[in-house]
Amino acid sequence: MTLKWASLLRRWPGFFSRLPTGPIYQTAANQSTLQAQNSLYTPDHIAIRETLRKIIDTEINPYVDQWEDAGQFPAHKVFKILGNAGILGVNKPTEYGGLGLDFSYSIAIAEELGNIRCSGVPMAIGVQSDMATPALTRFGSDELKRQFLVPTIAGDVVTCLGVSEAGAGSDVASIKTTAVKKGDDYIINGSKMWTTNGCQADWMCLLANTSAGPPHKNKSLICLPMKTPGVQVTKKIEKIGMKSSDTAQIFFEDVRVPSKYLIGEEGMGFTYQMLQFQEERMWGVANVLTPMGNILQETIDYTSQRKVFNQPVLHNQVVHFRLAELATEVELLRSLLYRSVAMYVEGNDVTKLASMAKLKAGRLARELSDSCLQFWGGMGFTDEVLVSRFYRDSRLLSIGAGADEVMLSIICKFMGTLPSKK
Ligand SMILES: Cc1cc2nc3c(=O)[nH]c(=O)nc-3n(C[C@H](O)[C@H](O)[C@H](O)COP(=O)(O)OP(=O)(O)OC[C@H]3O[C@@H](n4cnc5c(N)ncnc54)[C@H](O)[C@@H]3O)c2cc1C
């Protein structure tokens, strides 16, 4: 992919300068993070992160509490701001408005988005940039990309990913939604569940059965405009976490879309979606690294001030040793992620490593948020602190985008230890 230098310079005048010296990198925690990042990130990655950090500080974090209370954030408004800054398509081709950079830049963005003080908004942004659009970018026709990808990267529209159904989450192959060819159109019937951004989306990257063939070869991905007659968003699902991200249940009744809205080849949808999942999973891992670091730091700050039995909570060996252990685990996860990303950027299949990283990220986020919350005492049980929000939000990581058990099955397949189905 060619890099449009002029476009980069326009968006980031300091793109090539040595960075960073800004206040956000001056804490001890951030300096160590930055050093660790050197294995994957160049000053260019860090410049993009700094641009994004300014947007987070001014346009997002001041409103997060309000959006969490409202149970939804204004996706169109926020995406337009991000689109204008070039954040929604860093690894998308320049001819469609992207920056033509490699996937490591998406990972840098995902990490920086972790500085948003909730996980719902970053997840919604990730759906737009790295979950609903990789297949379209890789396999979609030029016409389709101009119609759907260009406005998505620009932040003019909101997108969602329709894979899971009420009866099919882990077992993607068993989805029931159909798209039947009739003349030049597909007629879509069925439903989707758990659709992030579903209440606000303008189009969906939909996985549907386009034939009655074997379940891994009968599926296709289709761009579905959400205003098409017959598309009905029936429910906004209430959740224990990820409050500011809307999650929808959606029904389709005789929804007619032109067959040219098919992404790539008919029957290849399952394969495309599995590929798309790799980016989604690495993105999810990157996104959780920053809040884990932030919560460790905030826990250190709190426990060093909070005195119990005449000494700071932090001075108890059980506390500072536990925090040291968790920090070590975070750095191990970071190393695994960066290795996966570096190999992926070089064109390797990283399904095994990405699945390992996703598994570990889900488990570590649960352990870390639980341990840290404990050290905050009663304060950790309130809505006043980040750790309690992360405790609720991060629980999803072991379930969404492939549950821990699905990751284990994939890893076992690569290890040759998964018993074959009779
Ligand atoms: C907040 C939220 C947002 C989401 N956003 C989206 C979205 O935008 N688009 C989308 O398509 N989907 C989305 N999902 C769906 C998500 O990917 C699914 O919830 C997930 O894949 C699990 O599917 P399920 O809920 O149907 O659980 P099930 O498939 O019913 O699994 C239940 C449990 O069974 C266990 N299990 C599964 N497989 C195995 C196995 N092989 N061996 C042993 N145990 C196993 C696991 O513990 C799993 O948690 C979202 C979900 C949530 C909660």
Q: What is the DSSP string of 100-162?
A: ---HHHHHHHHHHHTTSSSSHHHHHHHIIIIISSHHHHHHS-HHHIIIIIHHHHHTSS-EEEE
Asked, for residue 208, whether it belongs to a domain, the answer is: yes
Q: Answer yes or no: do 152 and 172 share one domain.
A: no
Q: Answer yes or no: do 235 and 143 share one domain.
A: no
Asked, for residue 192, whether it belongs to a domain, the answer is: yes
Confidence grade of residue 171 (pLDDT, cut at 50, 70, 90): very high
Confidence (pLDDT) at 420: 86
Query: Residue 242: which CATH number?
Result: 2.40.110.10
Residue 403 Cα to ligand 1 midpoint, Å, equals 6
Strand 307-308 with 311-312, pairing: antiparallel
Residue 400 Cα to ligand 1 midpoint, Å, equals 5
Q: Answer yes or no: do 293 and 263 share one domain.
A: no
CA proximity to 314, closest of 372, 255, 228, 362: 372
Average pLDDT score over residue span 129-152: 98
- Domain stops at, among 157, 183, 211: 157
Residue 15 Cα to ligand 1 midpoint, Å, equals 40
Confidence (pLDDT) at 23: 29
Q: Answer yes or no: do 126 and 233 share one domain.
A: no
> Helices 404-415 and 351-375 meet at what angle, rounded to 10?
140
Asked, for residue 172, whether it belongs to a domain, the answer is: yes
Residue 220 Cα to ligand 1 midpoint, Å, equals 20
Chain CA centroid to CA 68, Å: 18
Asked, for residue 362, whether it belongs to a domain, the answer is: yes
Classified as helix, coil or strand, 265 is: coil
Which two tokens mark 417? 């230890």
Identify whether 112 is a catalytic site residue.
no
In Å, how far are 192, 194, 197 from 250, measured between CA atoms?
Answer: 5, 9, 11
CB atoms within 10 A of CB 206: 30
Q: Answer yes or no: do 45 and 86 share one domain.
A: yes
Residue 165 Cα to ligand 1 midpoint, Å, equals 9
- Domain stops at, among 157, 177, 195: 157
Residue 130 makes CB contacts below 8 A (sequence gap 6+) with 106, 110, 279, 280, 283
DSSP annotation of 419 reads P
Asked, for residue 111, whether it belongs to a domain, the answer is: yes
Q: Answer yes or no: do 215 and 133 share one domain.
A: no
CB under 6 Å to ligand 1: residues? Answer: 127, 160-164, 169-170, 194-196, 239, 242, 247, 396, 399-401, 403, 405-406, 409
Asked, for residue 420, whether it belongs to a domain, the answer is: no
CA proximity to 44, closest of 88, 11, 69: 11
| Residue closest by Cα to atom 7 of ligand 1 | 195
Q: Is the Cβ–Cβ distance between 330 and 352 less than 8 Å?
A: no
Q: Is the Cβ–Cβ distance between 291 and 394 less than 8 Å?
A: yes
Q: Is the Cβ–Cβ distance between 153 and 183 less than 8 Å?
A: no
Confidence grade of residue 16 (pLDDT, cut at 50, 70, 90): very low
In Å, how far are 61, 62, 123, 391 from 66, measured between CA atoms?
Answer: 10, 8, 17, 19
Average pLDDT score over residue span 312-340: 98
Confidence (pLDDT) at 7: 52
Confidence (pLDDT) at 26: 34
The string of pLDDT tens digits covering residues 78-137 is 999 999 999 999 999 999 999 999 999 999 999 999 999 999 999 999 999 999 999 999
Q: Which of 194, 272, 392 to probe ligand 1 with, by most ligand atoms within 8 A of CB? A: 194
Average pLDDT, the chain: 92
Q: Is the Cβ–Cβ distance between 267 and 220 less than 8 Å?
A: yes
Confidence grade of residue 14 (pLDDT, cut at 50, 70, 90): very low
Q: Answer yes or no: do 182 and 127 share one domain.
A: no
Q: Answer yes or no: do 263 and 171 share one domain.
A: yes
Percentage of the chain beyond pLDDT 90 is 90
> What is the distance between the alpha carbons of residues 236 and 246, in angstroms, rounded to a whole number?
7
In Å, how far are 80, 87, 393 from 144, measured between CA atoms?
Answer: 21, 21, 34
Q: Answer yes or no: do 188 and 320 share one domain.
A: no
Tell me the residue range of the domain where 240 lies.
160-267
Q: Which phi-psi region, left, alpha or beta, contains residue 297 (left: φ > 0; alpha: ψ -120 to 50)?
A: alpha
Annotated catalytic residue within 111, 165, 279, 280: 280
Asked, for residue 422, whether it belongs to a domain, the answer is: no
The string of pLDDT tens digits covering residues 214-272 is 999 999 999 999 999 999 999 999 999 999 999 999 999 999 999 999 999 999 999 99
Chain CA centroid to CA 256, Å: 30
Q: Answer yes or no: do 261 and 333 share one domain.
A: no
Decide if pLDDT at 6 tops 80: no
- Domain stops at, among 135, 157, 179: 157
The number of distinct structural domains making up the chain is 3
Confidence (pLDDT) at 24: 30
| Residue closest by Cα to atom 52 of ligand 1 | 194
Which two tokens mark 211? 């034939």
Q: Which atom of ligand 1 is nearest to the CA of 131?
A: 8
The string of pLDDT tens digits covering residues 23-42 is 232 344 454 454 444 589 99
Residue 351 Cα to ligand 1 midpoint, Å, equals 18
CA proximity to 375, closest of 321, 329, 310: 321
Q: Which atom of ligand 1 is nearest to the CA of 166?
A: 26
Q: Answer yes or no: do 376 and 286 share one domain.
A: yes
Asked, for residue 250, whether it belongs to a domain, the answer is: yes
| Residue closest by Cα to atom 23 of ligand 1 | 169
| Residue closest by Cα to atom 16 of ligand 1 | 400
Q: Which of 399, 406, 407 to probe ligand 1 with, by most ligand atoms within 8 A of CB? A: 399
Residue 77 Cα to ligand 1 midpoint, Å, equals 29
Q: Answer yes or no: do 153 and 164 share one domain.
A: no
